[in-house]
Amino acid sequence: MTDLLRRIPMLCLLVAGTAIPCLSQDRADIVIADFEGTDYGGWVAAGEAFGTAPAKGTLPGQMPVANFQGKQLVNSFLKGDGSTGTLTSPPFTLERKFLNFLVGGGGYPDETCLQLLIDGKVVCTATGPNTNSGGSEALEWAAWDVAEFAGKPAVIKIVDARTGGWGHINVDHIVQSDRSRGVSPRTREMRIAQPYLQFPVRTGAPKRVLKIRNGDEVLREFEIELADGEPELWVFTDVAPWRGQTVTLECKLPEDSRALDAVHGSDVAIEGPELYRERLRPQFHFTSRRGWLNDPNGLVYFDGEYHLFYQHNPYGVNWGNMHWGHAVSPDLVHWKELGIGLYPKKFGDWAFSGSAVVDIANTSGWGKDGQPPLVLAYTSTGRGECIAWSNDKGRTWTEFDGNPVVKHTGRDPRLLWHAASRQWVMAVYTEAGPGLENRFIAFHTSPDLKNWTYRSRIAGFYECPDLVELPVIGGAPDERKWILYGADGQYLVGRFDGQTFEPESAKQRLWHGNFYAAQTFTNTPGGRCVQIGWGSGITFPGMPFNQQMVAPVELTLHRTGDHVALRAAPVAELATLRGQAQVVEVSAAKVGTWTAPVQPQDGFELVLRLIPARTGDTGLNVRGLPIRYSAEKQELTVAGKTASLPLDGETLDLRVLTDRGSVEVFAEDGRAAFSVLHVPPEKQAALELVLPQGASLKSLTAYDLKSAWGR
């Protein structure tokens, strides 16, 4: 009994330790369950999580499930993470050395687990790999060494007793075998002779946690889809601080894996000549050198540089491993990517979104040599809202030893200086339960960026707040209003006294389509309000990078009668990329669908004015992407996304930015803005005008846009 109990905390070691030799007398495998039937057979389901039959792969609302065998598996996400239950096998006799199985989903012992019971007692248990946001629904082989139980009757119970995040389990193909298919810890020692380590990646391979140790100190710890064999891409990590030292790579891998052998040192971050020359690399939208990006973070101008930080997975092209990437630009157009801005404190304690400011008056006391510090706030997923500062133009950051400064259920702190009340403000997303009515932007204040006091909150917003004050163009002299933004691009116009936001209108929307989590720069020259958003869902299949930022725009606030609303226009600096201009003769335009005589490059800009027909849709096709205006409905539609757009006169003005993978449309001096995914079909006409009877073209100029990367 003592020996059995000792095994449980060790999870039966999942065959960690020595490998089992491949003996010629290995017996044929015995399949306990492959879950390919119309029901569970002799297995007994209790509760709601497992239903009455195996799942046919991914269930509604679930990330894609991968690496199961056949067409079905056990998947307890039947009613989401809120359902619970068990699935218990009929008794069987243990006749081989190992029990192999595929397992995925939640990583919570006793809550999302697979258990082996002998005489009614749990002797082995296993879970999926996931306990944090993100993760993967891929199943992976695991194994129990059951040789000591040979000949005994056993039962397998699959348990879902968790209702929170990752409150489900995936299981498939349970097999008795004389050979283990599980993973075990593998290590490799390497002397660091070069500033970077390169890792082979194959997207879709099992995600594994890899550690780089220097003795007992963990230098880096991240999840990675390591490639065995030919990699799909190479990713890197900076190990320059440990040059000359010997480190240990540590990862759980199958016995025959050679993935760690392929890891090697490099003098450059990106090896090979293809950087910024990739087939789908955007020409003027920001993308990371390698890996995934999402929310823009820490947008701040300081000492001649615009800083763009962003949510970043350096080790793969899908979401995960949230670091802060970092790039700088003198002009919002030509970006230079630097090293990682913020590393996670530890694996699973990700560096989520946040913001940055210049502490001009040095209220924090962190300034040095008469220079103000850069200060940022970010969400540590394991701690709360945290503060860090930099005295070297944002190249390195020091954590405030009083972190977290705000602890709550929420994320994404937005810092700003409220001049009227002479204090710092943090606008931060917070939640008190499900539903939009329980999702808030909360306001905290501080005299010194260290000590924060809760003041108020406003309901109806989700994630990534932004708060900015703007002059009202067309309003009374010195009229100014505050804008409160949420991640989805909806905003309120109102008053803010440094503690409470009072809306003066209903929510409005400026942006439509692939646009999320936008943020405006702080400390900009001349007080310009420059915004960058994430082009959420703009993907680049087969590329070593994924997702892009929307082109930077300047926001202005306009009054038309009693109505006050935002407008967006691409920043003037983008015009520096303009090359050849092709002006179309207005008289050449024909009624119907007419191919315009322009042959732009991969990146181009259209500036045009149309008179829409009173009936029927007027517009254009940009490399096959439809843009249509209905005068009857007073609506503009781009790739199926529609915005209300009454015209001031008879003309419709459009400005269109086209790049590899996306199209952005700004209508009527930026009263409506669109960002949409679009990879043009081959041999598609660059531009077609759609002019029904009564419509006409007033002007059209097409500009080639040169690559911002100098390629």
Task: Give the tens place of pLDDT for each residue, 103-125.
Answer: 999 999 999 999 999 999 999 99
Q: Report which of 421, 477, 425 is spatially closest to residue 449, judged by C-alpha positions.
A: 425
Residue 274 φ/ψ region, left for φ over 0, alpha for ψ in the -120 to 50 degree band, beta for the rest: alpha
List all residues 6 or more positions away from 171 whose beta carbon is below 8 Å from its beta carbon. Answer: 35, 73, 74, 101, 102, 103, 104, 114, 139, 158
Indicate the pLDDT class of residue 84, thresholds 50, 70 and 90: very high
* Prior bond of 404 cis (ω within 30°): yes
Model confidence over 657-670: pLDDT tens digits?
999 999 999 999 99
pLDDT of 206 reads 83
261 is catalytic: no
Q: What's the whole-number average pLDDT of the chain?
A: 93
Q: What percent of the chain has pLDDT over 90?
A: 87
539 three-class SS: coil
Q: Sign of the CA dihedral 481, 568, 354, 299? A: negative
| DSSP strand pairing (696-705 vs 530-534) | unpaired
Beta-bridge partner residues of 374:
358, 390
pLDDT of 12 reads 46
Taking residue 479's Cβ as centre, other Cβ atoms within 10 Å add up to: 14
- Give the CA count within 13 Å in the CB-facing half-sphere of 296: 30
Give the mean pLDDT of 183-203.
Answer: 96
pLDDT of 134 reads 66
Is the pLDDT assigned to residue 402 strictly greater than 90? yes
Q: Kindly state the tokens that stand for 27.
A: 């017996």
Could you give phi then psi for residue 258, rounded to 5 degrees?
Answer: -120, 20
Stretch (H or E) spanning 3: helix 2-7
pLDDT of 436 reads 82
Active-site entry in 172, 295, 617, 704:
295
Q: Report which of 484, 420, 431, 421 is spatially closest to residue 453, judged by C-alpha positions.
A: 421
Q: What percent of the chain has pLDDT over 70?
A: 96
Give the mean pLDDT of 488-498.
Answer: 97
Round to whole Å and give the CA distance between 439 and 449: 25
Q: What's 588's DSSP letter?
A: G
CB-CB contact of 106 with 162 (8 Å): yes
Measuring CA to CA, how many Å separate 475 from each of 294, 468, 472, 504, 672?
36, 18, 5, 15, 20
Give the mean pLDDT of 566-590.
Answer: 95
Domains and CATH numbers, the chain: 2-181 (2.60.120.200), 184-266 (2.60.120), 356-376+391-570 (2.115.10.20), 578-705 (2.60.120.560)
Taking residue 188's Cβ as centre, other Cβ atoms within 10 Å add up to: 13
Is the pLDDT assigned to residue 276 strictly greater than 60? yes
Is the pLDDT assigned to residue 18 strictly greater than 80? no
Q: Report which of 196, 175, 261 is spatially closest to residue 226, judged by C-alpha positions.
A: 261
Is the pLDDT assigned to residue 314 strictly greater than 80? yes
pLDDT of 19 reads 37
Round to whole Å and give the CA distance between 78 and 57: 11
Helix, strand, coil percentages for the chain (3-state, nearest 5): 5, 50, 45
